[in-house]
Amino acid sequence: MKVVILSNTDSGGGAAIAARRLNDALNNNGVHSKMLVVRKITNDINVSEVPLSGLKRKILNAFTYLEYLYQRKILLKDKTISMFSTNEVGVDITQHPLVKEADVINIHWINFGFLSFQEIENLYALNKKIIWTLHDMWLFTGGCHYSGDCTQFHVDCKACPLVYFKSTPQTLWKKKMQLFSQNNMTVVAPSQWLVDESKLSSLLKNGKGFCVPNTLNSSLFTAHSKKEACVKLKLNPDKKYILFSAANPNDVRKGFVYFVEAVKLLKQQYSNSEELELLVMGKEQKIFNDLSLPVNNLGFIRSEEQSALIYSAASVFVIPSLEDNLPNTIMEALSCGTPCVGFNIGGIKEMIQTNVNGYLAEARNAKDLALGIKDVLENGEQKNLSVQAREWMMTHYSNKVIADKYLKVFNEC
């Protein structure tokens, strides 16, 4: 069996990283799998970039940026919304050797200039086995990647609350309905939450849906001694570090305001708050000044080896997202033996279990989030959370477990 995985890029975002890790897992377990991207970042030999001349690439980038500007400056009412895609811009890959020889086309995150909707229709015209892997809700909405409290995707997105021009999401919804109704739709989602959401949608309710989590290299993401990690990172090993990943804290969906409040409460409640400090992965921003504990900003981390050290240095990883699929960061933390604290939402509730590998707090409850952080810091060692975190990851998300599940989907559909 030959598989081609389609993704906008092979790094630089959670969906891209998840797709490349799946590609590795399949190859490591006897499957001939290649990844095709429009923008290659890594040196991975199993990843190919769509060949474009310099001029064609400049034109593609220009039109992609214009599409982005239209969405951000004109279409969207709320500019804090992280993503809305109309997929008007893309490249034709139907004649690419990896596509032509593939038995299975596995489509991941292809927005922002890889596949326009016309290109998606062209792929279906090849009459090959096409399986989507969802990393958000875009495939079954009129353009948004996360719907928040909106349920218009259950119907037709005609009354989309996010945009000024209602015809835009409705037009995309109609295109999807026409294509999907003519083909056998099969989707894989990393979380059962996202599978369930897709089945509620008017677009995918009649399709096949499977839950198969993401995976990662557990040999790379492994626990280092805290002292060793802190020395290499030039941190104080006597401190207890609370880790937070802040790729885009201004996105309301990321729940940063709840993290700020939880840290404030934690400082008041923790008996020795002077030993507490924050580790933040992501670009330094003024918003971090709202945090009540000292902040060690580590910037953007490109190296997975460096990431493993950071997780190992932390006593707890906190993810206050209000809406999310199956975050890679939780999986990475668990693999490094770092207990996690997050809200009882989306795919996060499928990854974190209280008193097993962390603490699952009541959604949108900063007090409970603070309580969870405090509990892990004070009782994590006694509860053996670190060892259980690693065991949880190996049982649920190891390369072989996930590769076998994908093979079953590929063979059954």
Q: Where are the domains of the chain?
A: 2-215+398-412, 226-397
Q: pLDDT digits over 7-42, tens only?
A: 999 998 899 999 999 999 999 999 999 999 999 999
C-alpha count within 13 angstroms, C-beta hemisphere, residue 331: 26
Confidence tier at 386 by pLDDT (50, 70, 90): very high
CA distance 107 to 413: 15
Mean pLDDT score across all residues of the chain? 95
Q: pLDDT digits over 250-268, tens only?
A: 788 899 999 999 999 999 9
- Comparison of pLDDT for 241 and 290, the residue scoring more: 241
Span 389-403, mean pLDDT? Answer: 96
Span 280-295, mean pLDDT? Answer: 85
Q: Do domains 2-215+398-412 and 226-397 have the same CATH topology?
A: yes
Cα angle at 179 between 177 and 181, to 5 degrees?
65
Q: Tell me, what DSSP letter sits at residue 154?
A: G
Q: pLDDT digits over 172-187, tens only?
A: 999 999 999 999 999 9
Q: Which residue from 5, 30, 33 is spatially nearest to 18, judged by alpha carbons? A: 5
**Residue 231, token pair as written in the block:** 């020395």
Report the percentage of the chain scoring pLDDT > 90. 90
Q: Tell me, what DSSP letter sits at residue 72?
A: I
User: What residues contact residue 85 under an 8 Å CB cut-off, 6+ apart?
Assistant: 71, 111, 112, 138, 143, 145
Confidence tier at 249 by pLDDT (50, 70, 90): confident
> What CATH number does the domain located at 226-397 have?
3.40.50.2000
Starting at the earlier edge strand, list the strands of the sheet with 340-343.
295-299, 276-281, 240-245, 316-319, 340-343, 358-361
pLDDT at 186: 97
**Does domain 2-215+398-412 bear CATH number 3.30.70?**
no
